[in-house]
Structure 1
Amino acid sequence: MKRSTQARYMLGMVVDATGSGMYLPLSLLYFHHNTGLSITRVGAIISAAAVLGLVSNPITGVLVDRYGARAVVVGGYLVRATAFASYPLVHDPVPLFLAVLVMAIGDVSFSPSIQSFIAEIAEGAARDRLIAAQRSLRNAGLGAGGLLAGAALALGSDRAYHGIVLGSAVAFAVAALLIRSIPTRPRATAVTRTARGYRLVARNRPFLALTLLNVPVAFGYMVLSVSLPVYVTQELDQPSSLVGVLYAVNTVGIAVLQIPVTRLLTRYRRTRSVALGATVFATSFVAYAVLGVVSTGTALVIGVFVATAAFTVGELMHGATASAMVASAAPAETRGRHLAVYQLSWAVPTALAPAVLTGLLTASPTGMWLVLATAVGGAAAGVLRLEPRLPRAAVRPGTPEPEPGSTGAETTEPEQADPSRALRDA
């Protein structure tokens, strides 16, 4: 991949993340301020629109396979830019629901289309490194956007609120232009024309297994924003300011360390790295559970930081590598459909996490952490067992991908017969 291509892509991600970071911290506050509706009612409307927006997920996969990932990424950006530009005109519940629904449709299209786009412009270890750089810069962009939003809100005026959403609209439009300028390789269409619906995805049992194994891990990712704040403040009786510091430890850690960690992991099988990352996740959950029986004091605070650091290490090992593995496991001709299905393993836990995790936390704080640790640990073991059934290109970053139109069913088993290669990759 040319450096100019990578530079344009990463600039697009930074602009995107900055726009998102400006708006995400104040989405509820903005509509509460602009419509006069209660925070509870605004939250209910936004959640309803987000759930309905998930219906567009299968359509995204079809559009990616038919028109190419770049077109869908650009279209999604323009849809979101339009939604943001309409926000200052929203003053009542129905227009609020419609505007947020348009935004949700654009949001839902992003993950499967951007992963497909990365797969189109980068292969092998370069794909892992590009995803790592994206995660790192997106964290930085989200932080920068949050700071800009904070500065604007300090003015305390309607213009400041409207300036934030319109600034986000401009950011998405600029990101669309940057992505549109990136050249892509010719797409394969032979299988896409004969594939009806998602039948090819349904027949790809290893990929479906990979999708299901990601569900408990996705719930694990959500604890930082859903469970941990409540656990730290109510169960461990620590000040709410500590939650912000813990969140900073995670986001700064990802921004600073994601690229070097992923560069190191490209030497090994992706399945091993993903499984190890999930295992570290599970270990951090056990550590959080143990903290519930530790007396208050310095040891407790240190323990919380250690557990959060372990959580961050697990995310560093799992996140970028898992994304690259899944993109490589999806056949090129139906990659959009495959990744749209995989995205459900993130979207559904994200939607259910507030209810599921808070319910478990209410029933038993220690039990919640142990349930998560067991489920995520089981997912790690499942990925290792699935390794022989995955395409070699998905498991080993340096393996060339099959030509478009091939079955893509080559597994890692033939290469495992080479003792020297197996020893090196173990």
Structure 2
Amino acid sequence: MREKLSSVRFKYMLGMIVDATGSGMYLPLSLLYFHHVTDLPLTQVGAIVTAASVIGLVSNPVAGVLIDRFSARAVLVGGYVLRASAFCTYPLVDNGVAMFAVVLPVALGDTSYPPAIQSFVAEIVRGAERDKLLALQRSLRNAGMGVGGLLAGAALALDESGFYFVVLGAAAGYLLSAALLSTIRPGASAQPAGDRVSRKGGYRMVARNRPFLGLTLLNIPTAFGYMVLSVALPVYLTRELDAPVSLVGVLYAVNTVGIAVLQIPVTRVLVRYRRTRAVALGAGIFALSFVTFAVLGSVSTGAALIAGVFAAVAAFTAGELLHGATASALVAQAAPEETRGRHLAVYQLSWAVPIALAPTVLTALLSLSATGMWLLLAAATAGSALGVLRLERTLPRAAVHPVLPTAGPAVSDTGPTRKVA
């Protein structure tokens, strides 16, 4: 069994590394690619990408139904093939209509990916192994994204045709990932695809699952918090604190390398404790980092300012280490197996909506009051932490505990958790 699990982990993580490398090649250049090959204004390119993303977001519930009906692996592999096919047609794009026609399939594949990958992980591993696999995934994906970015930079440095190398390389990465993950068979505990039924009332079941909806709603403030590193912090540092632009890249590297290096050892420690406590602590540390950023607005000394910025980013990274993989494992286990796809599709909205709104909301708050924005984020993430702790007793016992305790009253793994010594 141990040998079989090792083989599954190897094939899964190899697929994730290939996926991340391909994504890392393309994501930083997505807007520039179409601007380069079509000569469309960047504003028009951005509007087309946004329109496709919104349609993809609306289709999110369909992904949940497909996962429950056909299996997470089928949707995951299908999404990879769909995006790879679209990337192969990118070199043919020469106008806005054609651009929309090729970015829409990519947006649909991107939308189906998060609930599909979380459901897939839930099918192939259980308990503490799920936390460890998700931690390894986060670590290696960060490394893969970095390698992809370097490959893209090297290709573009040689020749402008490097743009085509980037999109075709991303397509090849998706196809190879699809081939690798298609060979992984879910464990015996997973429901076979042939025995699945299409539950017309599946989303009504999600609506009645109040603890799960609570987790979903409480994740929204934290998801906004995740976005500050790429959206709000660069503007805050350069415009409000008069920090050099080069500092932004250094801080981003600190966060990325920190996740890549520390996620696995941190998660090995966290699996000894309740997932809800780790998630709440992570959100609480996010709040602490946001308070630190707010205080920095009144610091004028150069050395103290730089030290404070690095301390705040270190705290942000610590919060991400505690929250990220553990929250994914908590939610995947809290979702009932027969409607896991629908549950995780709903949960994904708590990420998708903040990601879509963050550029507008956070920049608007920054323009009103930078200090106010940080304090509002701190209050919201602190409230999220407290809310998760209050939900703990109503969540399934197996969701709260990576390793089910042997002491305490006999309670079903899927029933509400109770106090355990």
**Which TM bucket (shorter chain)?**
over 0.9
Question: Relative to structure 1, is the Cα distance of residues 139 and 243 closer, same or farther in structure 2, using a 3 angstrom cutoff?
Answer: same
Alignment of 1:303-382 (within 5 A): 303-382=308-387
Paired residue type of 1:216: P
Structure 1 CA distance for aligned equivalents of residues 68 and 168 of structure 2: 32
Paired residue type of 1:360: L
Q: Does 1:85 align with 2:100?
A: no
Partner of 1:163: helix, strand, or coil? helix
User: Per-residue deviation at 1:98?
Assistant: 1.4
Paired residue type of 1:110: Y
Question: Relative to structure 1, is the Cα distance of residues 192 and 372 closer, same or farther in structure 2, using a 3 angstrom cutoff?
Answer: farther
User: Per-residue deviation at 1:75?
Assistant: 0.3
Query: Which residues of structure 2 form unaligned runs of 5+?
Result: 406-411
Which of 201, 208, 218 aligns to 1:203? It is 208
User: Per-residue deviation at 1:296?
Assistant: 3.5
1:102 corresponds to = 105
Which of 381, 389, 414 aligns to 1:384? It is 389
Paired residue type of 1:397: P
1:61 corresponds to = 64
How many percent identity over aligned positions? 66
Partner of 2:158: helix, strand, or coil? coil
Q: Does 1:126 align with 2:101?
A: no
Structure 2 CA distance for aligned equivalents of residues 362 and 179 of structure 1: 45
Which of 6, 16, 33 aligns to 1:13? It is 16
Structure 2 CA distance for aligned equivalents of residues 383 and 292 of structure 1: 30
1:170 corresponds to = 172
Structure 2 CA distance for aligned equivalents of residues 408 and 87 of structure 1: 48
User: Per-residue deviation at 1:191?
Assistant: 8.3
Alignment of 1:127-166 (within 5 A): 127-157=130-160, 159-166=161-168
2:33 corresponds to = 30
Structure 2 CA distance for aligned equivalents of residues 102 and 319 of structure 1: 28
User: Per-residue deviation at 1:193?
Assistant: 4.5
User: Per-residue deviation at 1:160?
Assistant: 1.0
Structure 2 CA distance for aligned equivalents of residues 399 and 365 of structure 1: 44
User: Per-residue deviation at 1:183?
Assistant: 1.2
- 8 A contact 2:73–2:182 mirrored in 1: yes
* TM-score, length-scaled by structure 1: 0.94
State the number of aligned residues.
410
1:403 corresponds to = none
Structure 2 CA distance for aligned equivalents of residues 98 and 290 of structure 1: 47
Paired residue type of 2:13: M
Question: Relative to structure 1, is the Cα distance of residues 172 and 191 closer, same or farther in structure 2, using a 3 angstrom cutoff?
Answer: closer
Structure 1 CA distance for aligned equivalents of residues 88 and 58 of structure 2: 23
Structure 2 CA distance for aligned equivalents of residues 218 and 410 of structure 1: 28
User: Per-residue deviation at 1:196?
Assistant: 2.0
- 8 A contact 1:22–1:145 mirrored in 2: yes
Q: Deviation string for 1:176-227 (max 9, x for gaps)? A: 0000011113543878555524111011010001000000000000000000
Q: Does 1:395 align with 2:400?
A: yes
Query: Which residues of structure 1 form unaligned runs of 5+?
Result: 401-406, 422-426
Structure 2 CA distance for aligned equivalents of residues 156 and 37 of structure 1: 21
Paired residue type of 1:160: G
User: Per-residue deviation at 1:408?
Assistant: 7.0
Structure 2 CA distance for aligned equivalents of residues 148 and 242 of structure 1: 23
Paired residue type of 2:109: G
- 8 A contact 1:192–1:334 mirrored in 2: no
Q: Does 1:270 align with 2:275?
A: yes
Partner of 1:257: helix, strand, or coil? helix
2:408 corresponds to = none
Structure 1 CA distance for aligned equivalents of residues 35 and 301 of structure 2: 38
1:116 corresponds to = 119
- 8 A contact 1:136–1:255 mirrored in 2: yes
Structure 1 CA distance for aligned equivalents of residues 9 and 91 of structure 2: 35
Structure 2 CA distance for aligned equivalents of residues 37 and 399 of structure 1: 56
Q: Does 1:279 align with 2:284?
A: yes
Structure 1 CA distance for aligned equivalents of residues 44 and 244 of structure 2: 28
Q: Does 1:238 align with 2:243?
A: yes
RMSD: 1.5
2:51 corresponds to = 48
Paired residue type of 2:32: L
Partner of 1:154: helix, strand, or coil? helix
User: Per-residue deviation at 1:399?
Assistant: 2.6
1:297 corresponds to = 302
Structure 2 CA distance for aligned equivalents of residues 192 and 275 of structure 1: 36
Partner of 2:259: helix, strand, or coil? helix
- 8 A contact 1:191–1:334 mirrored in 2: no
Structure 2 CA distance for aligned equivalents of residues 409 and 141 of structure 1: 36
Structure 2 CA distance for aligned equivalents of residues 193 and 141 of structure 1: 36
Paired residue type of 2:165: G
User: Per-residue deviation at 1:409?
Assistant: 5.0
* TM-score, length-scaled by structure 2: 0.95
